[in-house]
Structure 1
């Protein structure tokens, strides 16, 4: 696996690159050579500003590392195509898992970031939707593991079922919640109090 690392400063870039190398991920020095870009800075907004504009076109899969997750900046990042967000202090293994998920096109946003985002939107707004139908116990269990960032294989192992079953449960749950992606499903379920 190869990634491009963009950072607000060279020290942070070196730290992120070292963590990635520790878990076998190669760093590409030339820009625009790989689909996954890791952008790091103190804030989400600054991490995005550290990326050259072509990375923000939707052709690349973005993973943002930051220390501060301002809800407005998180929303802007999601609109810009960011697939995953983690703290800059995340362990190398967690970072590697997020890189792999991002490469697969999955979204990975830690629960605490989603909760902060939802608290900021508690008054409702354009993203509000009708309360979703009650979820089955299996859908709730899958959703809780999705909220923790588990990929389908790990969810299947955790629930002692096949990956195919997990995919079916996710499809049914996303239809029931009227959402288009995993991050939105988790956000909607948290807002409705299902997890």
Structure 2
């Protein structure tokens, strides 16, 4: 049986459905202690919580359309990439607390165009390329654009990027302008998030 939890009136309304699995009872208990109370009905936008040994298994669990949160024992960099591209949120079972569960549920329910730095750093630091080509319709990037994007993701400013790539700061500004246009990004963080989700870096 699937449990449905809704936030108390003081908090933004969020419903959570925990898919039955080993470890699901712990999630339900943490959710209740975090201030999420059992609700009678789920509604559109319900966050489906899937507990699994790893991201590969979590991604294979059938779920209804809508936001999802994966709680996994192990999370590989490639698995984290695939979860991000699926539009879901993932958290390690070992780091799960009332606060981290609540934050993860709200991140899943209210997606933001940028990706939190620790998660982004974990994805980009390995240099592992994603399997397959970028999603259809996703614009390809030049080698220079990809290099600039990676350095942006590491937090470098334009002057540092110019120094590291051996070009002028004016060139870096032009490349970033081209990136923003090509990715239709609103800002630097949005450009990096878009590129990660679509397998461009």
Return the structure number with greater helix share.
1
Counterpart for residue 171 of structure 1: 186
How many pairs align?
Answer: 147
Please say if 1:68 is aligned against 2:83.
no
Q: Secondary structure in 1 aligned to 2:69?
A: strand
CA deviations over 1:48-106 (Å, ceiling 9, x no partner)? 33x334x2xxx310111112112333333333331x11111321111101112221123
Partner of 1:153: none
1:8 counterpart (21, 25, 31)? 21
> Over residues 83-138 of structure 1, what are the superposed CA-to-partner deviations in whole Å (9 max), with x where a residue is unaligned?
x1111132111110111222112378665554443244356995684114987xx9
Equivalent residues of 2:19, 2:51 under 8 A apart: yes
* In 2, Cα distance between equivalents of 1:107 and 1:14: 31
Classify the secondary structure of the residue corresponding to 1:67: strand
Residues 104 and 31 (structure 1), Cα distance of their counterparts in 2 relative to 1, 3 Å cut: closer
Q: Runs of 4 or more off by more than 6 Å in structure 1? A: 29-33, 107-110
1:26 is matched with which residue: 37, 44, 64?
37
SS in 2 for 1:8: coil
Output aligned runs, 1:32-71, within 5 Å: 35-49=46-60, 51-53=61-63, 55=64, 59-71=65-77
Change (3 A) 1:87 1:178: closer
TM-score (norm 1): 0.55
Root-mean-square deviation over aligned CA pairs: 4.1
Give the deviation of 1:22 after TM superposition: 0.2
Structure having the higher Rg: 2
The reply to whether residue 92 of structure 1 matches residue 102 of structure 2 is no
- Offset, 1:17: 0.6
Tell me the residue number matched to 1:17.
Answer: 28
Task: Give ranges in structure 1 of 5+ residues lacking alignment.
Answer: 141-169
CA gap 1:74/1:21 in 2 versus in 1, 3 angstroms: same
How far, CA to CA, are the matches of 1:108 and 1:133 in structure 2? Answer: 15
How far, CA to CA, are the matches of 1:100 and 1:66 in structure 2? 18
SS at match of 2:186: helix
The residue number in structure 1 matching 2:180 is none
Give the conservation status (yes or no) of the 8 Å contact 2:115–2:193: no
